């Protein structure tokens, strides 16, 4: 257990060096981040689950507990810095929505935190990954028709609770690009585009001390998205009750114009940032 105390930065950095073997440059960055903390916090590595997170690329390798504890699932220096920045946000009062009735709300909130974290990274003079680290959804090299060889196509070709939830997760990862095959259901694409744009709208112009603005926007966006997509009414993944129209998107789909507008709006928003 490490005590992260902004009033005792020398002692905190000494603990980090001894317990995590962090290099000098990362320690200096950690010092600057912890200096932002409005109160002390605790940090530990969940060694029991550390190995489970090694191959996972779509989820954060850290979490928070209700008693101001930062829990790490890795000792990677880059992740530790990101975790410390988000811990500072947590301590200042940024809503996490942990415990929300619908899991997608938590994933949406995670995505809305990312642009704020990246803004703080830039203020600290740290590198922000501008290019995708990877691409999700690319077809297999032999472009096989067997659905078992291309599960992503199967996922996005149906609009159900499973595809909805996965689109929220992917929209929250600005370091992951997504390739949508032609068979993608138009509403699935709409979820991805609209969620991604909404996350950036919540975070736009928000700094470390703007948690009230962030939280107000977040609640408004969640309410608006719930009304727009009504995820609670979606069929479960692989449901046999999907209609023929849902299973096979129409060539002249009324959502196409809506989606085109979403892309247009997103590009304009990107240009203005």
pLDDT tens figures, 21-39: 889 999 999 999 999 999 9
| C-alpha–C-alpha distance, residues 23 and 252, integer Å | 57
In sequence order, the β-bridge partners of residue 44 are 71
| C-alpha–C-alpha distance, residues 88 and 158, integer Å | 39
Both 252 and 147 in one domain: the answer is yes
- Single out the residue in 36, 65, 92 at which a domain terminates: 92
For the chain, how many structural domains are there in total? 2
How many angstroms separate the Cα of 124 from the Cα of each of 27, 81, 118? 13, 11, 10
Residue 262's pLDDT is what? 46
Both 28 and 81 in one domain: the answer is yes
Both 175 and 223 in one domain: the answer is yes
pLDDT digits (tens, 9 = 90+) for 177-203: 999 999 999 999 999 999 999 999 999
Is the pLDDT assigned to residue 246 strictly greater than 50? no
Residue 131: pLDDT band with limits 50, 70, 90: confident
Q: Stretch 96-104: mean pLDDT, rounded? A: 90
- Closest by Cα among 128, 120, 84, 92 to 207: 120
**Largest pairwise CA distance in the chain:** 65
- Single out the residue in 63, 92, 121 at which a domain terminates: 92
Q: Structure tokens of 54?
A: 């090694």
Both 269 and 138 in one domain: the answer is yes
Both 147 and 234 in one domain: the answer is yes
Q: Please give the model's pTM, rounded to 2 decimal places.
A: 0.83
pLDDT digits (tens, 9 = 90+) for 1-21: 899 999 999 999 999 999 888
| C-alpha–C-alpha distance, residues 209 and 93, integer Å | 9
In sequence order, the β-bridge partners of residue 71 are 44, 63
Both 88 and 137 in one domain: the answer is no
Residue 85's pLDDT is what? 97
Has residue 259 been placed in a domain?
yes
- Single out the residue in 43, 67, 92 at which a domain terminates: 92
Q: Could you tell me the residue range of the domain that residue 141 belongs to?
A: 132-273
């Amino acid at each position: 257990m490490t005590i992260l105390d902004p009033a005792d930065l020398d002692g905190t950095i000494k603990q980090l060096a001894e317990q995590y073997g962090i290099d000098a440059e990362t320690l200096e960055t950690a010092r600057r981040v912890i200096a932002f903390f409005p109160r002390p916090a605790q940090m530990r590595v969940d060694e029991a689950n550390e190995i489970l997170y090694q191959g996972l690329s779509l989820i954060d390798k850290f979490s928070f507990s209700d008693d101001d504890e930062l829990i790490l699932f890795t000792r990677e220096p880059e992740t530790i810095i990101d975790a410390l920045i988000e811990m500072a946000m947590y301590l200042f009062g940024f809503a996490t929505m942990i415990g929300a009735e619908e899991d997608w709300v938590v994933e949406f909130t995670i995505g809305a935190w990312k642009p704020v974290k990246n803004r703080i990274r830039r203020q600290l003079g740290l590198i922000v990954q501008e290019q995708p680290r990877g691409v999700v959804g690319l077809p297999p090299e032999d472009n096989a028709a067997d659905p078992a060889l291309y599960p992503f196509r199967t996922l996005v070709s149906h609009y159900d609770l499973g595809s909805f939830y996965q689109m929220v997760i992917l929209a929250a990862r600005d370091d992951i690009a997504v390739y949508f095959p032609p068979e993608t259901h138009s509403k699935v694409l709409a979820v991805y585009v609209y969620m991604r744009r909404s996350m950036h709208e919540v975070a736009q112009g928000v700094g470390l001390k703007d948690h009230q603005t962030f939280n107000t926007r977040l609640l408004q966006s969640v309410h608006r998205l719930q009304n727009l997509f009504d995820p609670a009414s979606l069929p479960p993944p692989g449901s046999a009750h999907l209609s023929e129209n849902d299973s096979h998107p129409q060539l002249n789909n009324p959502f196409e114009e809506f989606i085109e507008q979403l892309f247009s709006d997103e590009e304009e928003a990107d240009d203005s940032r």
